[in-house]
């Protein structure tokens, strides 16, 4: 349904001190009705990837390089003229953002903001848009929607605002919902409620969800497939259970080991040594090699492609796939 | 705090500020060298017999605190005092000149805001493209021009070289001493063009720069990205989501610019022989006309204070975060209002 191929989004840094290759040849597919999780640390390019899909990357400094392809229902979104792109935005592909506090306009009522997309795309009258907004507020589980529709964002709590954001994104029943860290700014109980809501709405409306997060636990519970990103690259992709059972890339391994477990004996939390390198100067060879416990000369000399592991749909950008015996020789 | 209580407090504070300004100006003008009898410099041409008599008649021989007390008492009765230099009550002189200042500054303000807002919004729509870059440089240039210089250049160009507009004055003194016909109204407008444009252009350049910056600041906000993600056109994003927020900071600027009604017009009124309050104030200072100086200061400070008050009230109406209180509860109270 949504096909991303060789997506390159670069940022020109100020004073020409180089180009930040935030997203570098990223490819993945999103199938109808599924939830695809994109996981990675901050700075790995997952948010830029999600913004690139609807061409929301601020330009300048950012630009999507020619040769990139984002195909939605047979059309390349990157080559679409502005009016046609706008007809996709908010209508067929909608987005919710990380910060419900700042992502709503403080001077308009939530009803106006929810109804806006319906007015643009479905040419509803103001009255009909208001009725639709009330309906949407009810759908996302806000009590007294008839009254809340006239509230301003500052009158709502963080969880309610994120519900409003979801209502706003779903008002035109999009086929794809991009959720960029939808719960990161919320506290844990609200997080669970919002995710339940998203799951329920996905089933009711039959849309595909691209769930972008740094939280592996969230992916485990809600995604059908996972794409792991590191340093602007896809480093591993697999079905969720397969990924958790057999992580192949050392980075994924490290991420999984860093999740505290309630059923394991108490031990020091594992941390991946080092830091994500700067996007202006990715390491040569495999971009993970400076932090990798298995790295050998080949990793420094040559970057591996995404290699099939043998299990359907499971691929990792690691030479260990071709030389599995080296997994024993941990540095 | 409810709106009424807030308004009442602001009102009391405003009166206190005006009172303080009047007091300060009263003391300053009285301790300044020179007095109305002698004049500011050596112009001691007054009658040596009449001078002491007049001094006693106006109570100028009394100590400062007595004179101040008397002045306040008169002020509370609505009496602004008597102008030595004009030989008439101050209130009469003000009533005659204020309409002229209001006409000049009103038109200038209209040009300032309409042109300035329009340009600023247009630039925000074309940001960093050629029209925006050109306009940015033009507005910077105009904004840095001294008004008196621009006034003289415009006079030279449009009143002297090309005789499009009159050299000065508020109207034709023979045909239209008062406005009593459509012809005289047109005559007044014709006389207004140059002084109002001089004031308005410089103001508009500043307003345009301010508005452009305010629009671009809002452009960085997350909710602008949200609006774009909804499928709004670029115009819709800028003119609805950005403008509504940028207008809030413009209202504050409006409050600060309002006193310009009086103060900014001083030079222009002098150059264009416009019989307004600014010119009156200049002459009052030069002739050490105590009552007149204090009265103009009173009006100026009232304008400053009420401009700010008006801006705060308008913000209260325009900004829902101020107008509508959050519903309470621990979560919402964390949000900055």
A163 touching chain B per CB within 8 A: no
Q: Which of A94, A155, A158 sits opposite B327 (nearest CB)?
A: A155
pLDDT value of residue A308: 85
CB atoms within 10 A of CB B177: 11
ipTM of the complex: 0.84
Q: Do A99 and B222 touch (CB under 8 A)?
A: yes
pLDDT value of residue B331: 37
Residues B103 and B58: their CA atoms lie apart, in Å, by 34
| Terminal C-alpha separation, chain A | 42
Within A187-315, where are the H helices?
Answer: 188-205, 216-222, 240-245, 250-257, 297-301
pLDDT value of residue B281: 87
CA B127 to chain centre: 30
Residues B305 and B316: their CA atoms lie apart, in Å, by 17
Q: Do A54 and B229 touch (CB under 8 A)?
A: yes
pLDDT value of residue B77: 87
Which chain A positions have a beta carbon within 8 Å of B229's beta carbon? 54, 56, 89-90, 94-95, 97
pLDDT value of residue A177: 92
Q: Which of B231, B320, B337 sits opposite A117 (nearest CB)?
A: B231
pLDDT value of residue A44: 85
Residues B62 and B56: their CA atoms lie apart, in Å, by 8
Q: Which residue has the higher pLDDT, A70 or B260?
A: A70
Which chain A positions have a beta carbon within 8 Å of B227's beta carbon? 105, 116
Query: Could you write out the DSSP letters of every residue in A101-155?
Result: TTSS-TTS-HHHHHHHHHHHHH---HHHHHHHHHHHHHHTT-SSHHHHTT--GGG
A104 touching chain B per CB within 8 A: yes
- How many residues are there in chain B? 337
SS3 B327: coil
CA distance A96 to chain B (A): 8
Residues B256 and A157: their CA atoms lie apart, in Å, by 35
CA distance B219 to chain A (A): 11
Q: How far is CA A13 from CA A8, A18, A46, A279, in A?
A: 16, 6, 19, 10
Which chain B positions have a beta carbon within 8 Å of A106's beta carbon? 223, 245, 319-321
Confirm if A291 and A302 have CB atoms less than 8 A apart: no
3-state helix vs strand vs coil in chain A, percent to 5: 35, 20, 40
pLDDT value of residue B329: 39
Phi, then psi, of B28 in degrees rounded to 5: -60, -45
Q: Which of B236, B241, B329 sits opposite A105 (nearest CB)?
A: B241
Structure tokens at B109: 């303000």
SS3 A328: helix
Mean per-residue pLDDT, B179-204: 89
| Cα nearest neighbour of A88 on chain B | B231
pTM of structure: 0.79
Residues A103 and B325: their CA atoms lie apart, in Å, by 20
CA distance A163 to chain B (A): 14
Q: What is the residue-level pLDDT of chain A in tens, covering all 331 positions?
A: 888 888 888 888 776 667 888 888 888 899 988 999 999 888 788 888 999 998 888 877 888 888 888 988 888 988 889 888 898 898 899 999 888 888 999 999 999 999 999 999 989 899 999 999 998 898 888 889 898 999 999 998 888 888 899 899 888 889 999 998 888 777 788 888 888 888 888 888 889 999 999 888 888 888 899 999 998 899 999 999 898 888 889 899 888 887 777 776 666 677 787 777 887 888 888 888 888 888 888 888 888 888 888 888 899 898 988 888 887 766 5
Helix axes B290-318, B90-125, angle to 10 degrees: 40
Has residue B262 got a pLDDT over 70?
Answer: no
pLDDT value of residue A216: 86
pLDDT value of residue A16: 64
Residues B315 and A280: their CA atoms lie apart, in Å, by 44
Domains of chain B plus CATH, in order, are: 94-286 (1.10.3720.10)
DSSP single-letter state for residue B58: T
The predicted-structure confidence for B133-173, as pLDDT tens digits, reads as follows 999 999 999 999 988 899 999 999 998 888 888 888 888 77
**In terms of Cα–Cα distance, which of B38, B18, B202 is closest to B105?**
B202
pLDDT value of residue B36: 64
Contacts of A12 (CB under 8 A, 6+ apart): A19, A20, A60, A61, A62, A63
* Chain A contact probe: residue of B216, B218, B223, B337 with most A CBs at under 10 A: B223
pLDDT value of residue B336: 40
| Cα nearest neighbour of A122 on chain B | B231
pLDDT value of residue A265: 66
| Cα nearest neighbour of A115 on chain B | B230
Mean per-residue pLDDT, B295-321: 86
Residues A212 and A226: their CA atoms lie apart, in Å, by 10
Has residue B208 got a pLDDT over 90?
Answer: yes
User: For chains A and B, what is the number of CB pairs under 8 angstroms?
Assistant: 91
Residues B253 and B74: their CA atoms lie apart, in Å, by 35
Q: Which of B225, B320, B331 sits opposite A107 (nearest CB)?
A: B320
Full 3-state SS string of B94-163 = HHHHHHHHHHHHHHHHHHHHHHHHHHHHHHHHCCCCHHHHHHHHHHHHHHCCCHHHHHHHHHHHHHHHCC
Phi, then psi, of A69 in degrees rounded to 5: -135, 130
Let me know the angle formed at the C-alpha of A215 by A211 and A219, rounded to the nearest 5 degrees. Answer: 50
B interface with A, Cβ–Cβ below 8 Å: 221-223, 225-234, 236, 241, 244-245, 248, 318-321, 324, 326-327, 329, 331-332, 335, 337
Q: Do B230 and A120 touch (CB under 8 A)?
A: yes
Q: What is the dihedral of CA A85, A89, A95, A99, to 10 degrees?
A: 90
pLDDT value of residue A226: 93
User: Which H/E stretch holds residue B267?
Assistant: helix B265-271
Query: Could you write out the DSSP letters of every residue in A177-214?
Result: EEEESTTTTS-HHHHHHHHHHHHHHHHHHT-EEEEEES
Structure tokens at B279: 């010119």
| Terminal C-alpha separation, chain B | 13
């Amino acid at each position: 349904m949504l096909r991303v191929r060789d997506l390159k989004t670069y940022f020109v840094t100020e004073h020409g001190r180089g180009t930040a290759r935030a997203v570098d040849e990223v490819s993945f597919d999103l199938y109808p009705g599924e939830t695809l999780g994109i996981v990675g640390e901050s700075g790995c390019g997952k948010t830029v990837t999600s913004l690139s899909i609807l061409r929301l990357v601020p330009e300048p400094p950012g630009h999507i390089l020619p040769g990139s392809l984002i195909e939605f229902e047979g059309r390349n979104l990157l080559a679409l003229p502005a009016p046609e792109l706008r007809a996709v935005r908010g209508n067929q592909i909608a987005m919710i953002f990380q910060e419900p506090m700042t992502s709503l306009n403080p001077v308009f009522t939530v009803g106006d903001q929810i109804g806006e997309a319906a007015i643009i795309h479905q040419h509803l009258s103001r009255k009909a848009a208001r009725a639709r907004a009330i309906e949407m507020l009810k759908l996302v589980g806000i009590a007294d929607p008839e009254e809340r529709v006239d509230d301003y964002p500052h009158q709502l709590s963080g969880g309610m605002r994120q519900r409003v954001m979801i209502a706003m994104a779903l008002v035109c029943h999009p086929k794809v919902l991009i959720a960029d860290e939808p719960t990161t700014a919320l506290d844990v109980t609200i997080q669970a409620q919002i995710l339940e809501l998203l799951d329920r709405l996905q089933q009711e409306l039959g849309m595909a969800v691209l769930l972008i997060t740094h939280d592996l636990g969230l992916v485990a519970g809600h995604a059908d497939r996972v794409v792991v990103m590191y340093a602007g690259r896809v480093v591993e992709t697999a079905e969720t259970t397969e990924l958790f059972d057999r992580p192949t890339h050392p980075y994924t391994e490290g991420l999984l080991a860093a999740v505290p477990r309630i059923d394991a004996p108490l031990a020091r939390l594992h941390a991946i040594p080092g830091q994500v390198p700067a996007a202006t100067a990715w390491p040569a060879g495999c971009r993970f090699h400076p932090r990798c416990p298995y790295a050998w000369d080949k990793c420094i000399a040559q970057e591996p492609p995404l290699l099939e592991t043998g299990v359907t749909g499971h691929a990792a950008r690691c030479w260990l796939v071709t030389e599995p015996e080296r997994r024993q020789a941990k540095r | 705090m409810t709106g009424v209580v807030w308004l009442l407090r602001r009102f009391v504070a405003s009166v206190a500020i005006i009172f303080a300004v009047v007091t300060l100006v009263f003391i300053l003008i009285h301790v300044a060298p020179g007095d109305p009898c002698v004049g500011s410099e050596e112009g001691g041409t007054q009658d040596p017999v009449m001078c002491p008599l007049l001094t006693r008649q106006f109570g100028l021989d009394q100590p400062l605190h007595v004179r101040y007390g008397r002045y306040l008492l008169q002020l509370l009765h609505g009496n602004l005092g008597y102008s030595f230099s004009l030989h008439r009550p101050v209130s009469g002189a003000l009533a005659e000149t204020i309409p002229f200042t209001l006409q000049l500054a009103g038109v200038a303000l209209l040009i300032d805001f309409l042109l300035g807002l329009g340009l600023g919004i247009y630039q925000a729509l074309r940001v960093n493209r050629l029209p925006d870059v050109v306009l940015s440089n033009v507005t910077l240039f105009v904004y840095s021009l001294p008004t008196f210089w621009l006034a003289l250049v415009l006079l030279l160009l449009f009143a002297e070289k090309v005789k499009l507009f009159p050299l000065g004055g508020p109207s034709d003194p023979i045909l239209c001493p008062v406005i009593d016909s459509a012809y005289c109204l047109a005559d007044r407008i014709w006389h207004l063009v140059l002084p109002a444009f001089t004031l308005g252009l410089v103001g508009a350049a500043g307003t345009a720069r301010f508005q452009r910056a305010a629009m671009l600041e809002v452009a960085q906000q997350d909710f602008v990205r949200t609006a774009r993600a909804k499928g709004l056109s670029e115009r819709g994003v800028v003119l609805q989501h950005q403008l509504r927020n940028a207008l809030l900071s413009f209202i504050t600027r409006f409050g600060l610019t309002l006193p310009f009604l009086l103060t900014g017009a001083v030079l222009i009124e002098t150059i264009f022989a416009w019989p307004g309050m600014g010119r009156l104030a200049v002459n009052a200072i030069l002739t050490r006309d105590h009552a007149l100086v204090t009265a103009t200061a009173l009006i100026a400070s009232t304008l400053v204070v009420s401009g700010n008050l008006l801006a705060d009230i308008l913000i209260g109406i325009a900004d829902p975060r101020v107008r509508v209180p959050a519903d309470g509860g621990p979560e919402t109270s964390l949000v900055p209002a």
